Amino acid sequence: MAPPTLESRFQQRMVTGDFSSSLRSLLSTHGSATDLVLVDLTDERLGAYLLPDGSMVTRSVELIESGAEQYLPQGSQHIAFGTQQHFEYWSTAMNYIGERFQHYMPQATVVLLDLAWAEWSESGTQTPDSFGVKAADANSIFRPYIQVAAQALGAHVVSLDPAEVMSGPHHPWGDAPFHYAEKVYLETVRRLTGTEGRVVWGPGALPSSQKTATSTPTRAVVSERSPEERPASSVPLDLRHSGPNFLIAGTHRGGTAWLGKQLSYHPEIFMASSKASGFFSSSKKYTSEDETTKYLKEFQKGRDHRLRGERSVLYFWQGLANHYSPKREDAAAAVRDHLDPQTPVILSLRDPVSRAVSAYWHNMISGNLDLRGSIFRAPASTGIIDLGFYQRHYEHWANTVGPERVHVLVYDDIIDDPAGYVRQALSILGVADTQEFWNKTTLNRRENRSTAADQLRKKNPVSAQELSLLHELYKSDISFIEHIVGRRLDAWSDLKSVVSRNMPS
């Protein structure tokens, strides 16, 4: 009898490991010496078997080719990939794995590969189906699995644009939607390590005699070095799947703190602390690996939540470097470039005159202004006047990330119908309310209210003349927002109402 081939021994080891759940023992044995874990979900595509004793085993290619699939216990049930049952079993297991990773190797970097199945090969032909599954169908099925894995593992996600991904008809393993052209692997290596990879089989590959690595396919690479040997991480940190998947982007003094507080009571929603606020307003932060690591660490706390939000009152502000505002970095472009293209952006907008007056007194209490200056003489750096030019700021965001992603809520609803306002936000995020959620909310409690500001405001009010000038300044912006939200905003457009609301009684 011929000795078993290296490939057959590899299959046997894979299948035996799956049945024995060997990952647990590997983590306890080697976890402390591991500095990088690379995760690829492609082998999930065939689903899993639910065995009669309640345990599960992945239906892998190795399981099929080894022949072990034919000897599964009677009553074993195949759970197809992409079904709700499979997703629920798999998500529970993935969250468990994330906990084990954190327990046994908290120092390790976990990288998740998010590479679409190629619909076309580099030769220009369509890729074949894999076990009856087309590439386009597989890509849509994989998306929620990628999102769950990224959250559960606290992983840095390495992605390529689907347009960049092609299969390689001369791939050593044969033509398949996930057997990529060599340039796809090389680009993935570059994004993973920051350095160029080595050509293995294409033009420029080393002759066989010079290769030190086996040509047998390797399923996982774990770097095991002592702590003193480990280099500083060069893994690019992917914000798209590990960071926030919704934003409350402003405006200042518009009720965003109150909204963030209410949403945080929902069991499916995690709101990052103020430590994360304003990250996308500074390129020094989102281009720095250290700063990005700190930012993502905030969201690891919410990895068990389906939705993770960040609140920044200044994201909405698009400064133009004029007498009303300083030049500001483009937060909308940073969000477009670094977050998932489906990330909703919530704006809570307040009557721009009242917002300016509230910001004026907030800055006064903060020591940024003195009582001798008119509201129109406030430093441009405060944005007191410029933040109220809602049309300019909204159009910039809509043009940058797409109007379908930008959602406007009206601050007045917090006062008139706070529960209805929260329901609007939940609807935007696609989550349902429950009585348990409402029991936790603090709808009638104000956030960031200063009694000291109230006292100063009564003694030194913004004059009626200044209020009238502000109202005239914002007329077109008020009309624009009325058009966007599809309703009249009489409390904004009526000058008498505005003056009455902002003059102390």
Q: What was the pLDDT predicted at 474? A: 96
Over residues 220-256, the pLDDT tens digits come to: 333 333 333 333 333 345 788 889 999 999 999 999 9
Over residues 334-358, the pLDDT tens digits come to: 999 999 888 999 999 999 999 999 9
Residue 130's pLDDT band (boundaries 50, 70, 90)? confident
| Lowest-confidence pick of 165-179, 241-255, 289-303, 425-439 | 165-179
Over residues 317-340, the pLDDT tens digits come to: 988 877 778 889 999 999 999 998
Q: Are 299 and 272 in contact (CB under 8 A)?
A: yes
Looking at the predicted structure, is the pLDDT value of residue 40 above 50?
Answer: yes
Residue 409's pLDDT band (boundaries 50, 70, 90)? very high
Strand partners, 120: 126
DSSP 287: T
- DSSP conformation letters of 82-127: TSHHHHHHHHHHHHHHHHHHHHH-TTSEEEEEE-PPPSBBTTSSBP
Over residues 268-295, the pLDDT tens digits come to: 999 999 999 999 999 999 989 899 999 9
The two beta strands, 246-250 and 307-311, are: parallel
Residue 7's pLDDT band (boundaries 50, 70, 90)? low
Q: In what order do the strands lie in the sheet with 246-250?
A: 269-271, 307-311, 246-250, 345-349, 406-410
Q: What was the pLDDT predicted at 320? A: 83
What are the structural domains, with CATH classification, of the chain?
34-43+84-204 (3.40.50.1110), 243-502 (3.40.50.300)
Q: What was the pLDDT predicted at 214? A: 36
Q: What was the pLDDT predicted at 11? A: 61
Q: Residue 279, Cα to own-chain centre: how many angstroms?
A: 13
**CA distance linking residue 5 with residue 13, whole number of Å:** 12
